[in-house]
Chains A and B, each alone.
Chain A
Amino acid sequence: MENAEDLLSVIRWNYSLLYDWLIENGISSVEKDKTENTRWTSYDDEKYLEYKAEIQKMPYPENATLEQMRHVARLVVYGLFERHFTQKAGEFLLGHLGRHIEDMADKINQRTENENFQEDVFDSSSQVYRNDQSYFEAAARIYGEVFIDNERNIGGQVALADTNWEIQKLNTNANKTLFRKARLLNLSEVDEPENLFQLTYNNQISITSITIK
């Protein structure tokens, strides 16, 4: 099972079994219990209405989002539908279907997090740059695509490379050197129209020098 699309289609199939069973049997089985008052000890009327509302708002399997399917799975595993945990849809326990959906949804989310993380770093190879010189040689190459123009006194490259270096030095347990982009360094782009960087970058004014006094 390699990609998120495959995982999602398996989740949808599992969800469709839950959905069909709950639509066909859910409310009627609860009403039967309620009438016979056999296991109806913890469900008051308010909870019953809540139960019905959850059943009625379950989306069709064809249209359900991952989060909607996960929500119903959670209700079966440890929520309002838990009373059906040991009932069967065909050969499958509803509780097991719910757990299976949760496990696969976790996998999809983990994969998405990894993909987002990959977008936040320039390079996540397993290489470790043990000393400062080798780090900055690599940084000059890797952060080389970030803008800098020393003659016009504008840039961005050095702040990223230096700040990343500081973090890397302090992460003594790191087993690889990451070259983080701005977001992972707690930095973001200035986006206001009248900011000095944009005006300078667009040659509307020029900066002669910036000096620490």
Chain B
Amino acid sequence: MSWTAEIVINNTTPYKCPFKIKKGQIFENKKMGTGLQNVAAIRDYFFEIPANTKKAVSIEVLCINQHLRPPSGQLNLTNLQVTGNFLSQNELWELMNNNIDGI
């Protein structure tokens, strides 16, 4: 199951601004230890915000922390992405659970 994250972006410059959200890009909770899952973009997204415009864009996300509660509330964008490819929620969890390595 995927979730939708709505991102409201404000471009105050006099130029249009194209940008990318890469597949696997991580969005995190605003506080650590909430027990809520952090999430990752389900695929690559390309958007463009016109000059001097505030715009909401929606993307689909999947959860990265299988053992935590479903995501909710406000998020931050991070400069992190999942390493490796995934095609479904289960594959993403499997990828992340590879880290349960005993070290």
Contact = CB atoms under 8 A, between A and B. Distances in A.
Interface of A: 117, 132, 135-136, 139-140, 143, 147-150, 153-163, 165-167, 169-171, 173-174, 178, 180, 182-190, 192, 194-201, 204-213
B8 A209 contact: yes
B32 A196 contact: no
Contacts of A147: 79
A204 B7 CA distance: 16
B4 interface: yes
Contacts of B75: 153, 210-212
Given A167-B100, A194-B20, A212 B71 contact: yes
Contacts of B25: 190, 195-197
B interface, size bucket: 35 or more
Given A155-B76, A158-B38, A185-B96, 9 more contacts: A136-B33, A155-B30, A167-B100, A184-B103, A190-B22, A205-B10, A206-B10, A210-B6, A212-B61
B31 A158 contact: yes
A195 B96 contact: no
A70 to B, nearest CB: 26
Contact of B32 (A143, A170, A204): A143
B9 A184 contact: no
A197 B79 contact: yes
Interface in B15-63: 17-22, 25-34, 38-39, 49, 54, 58, 61
A209 to B, nearest CB: 5
A206 B12 CA distance: 8
A169 B98 CA distance: 14
Contact of B83 (A139, A161, A167, A186): A186
A158 B29 contact: yes
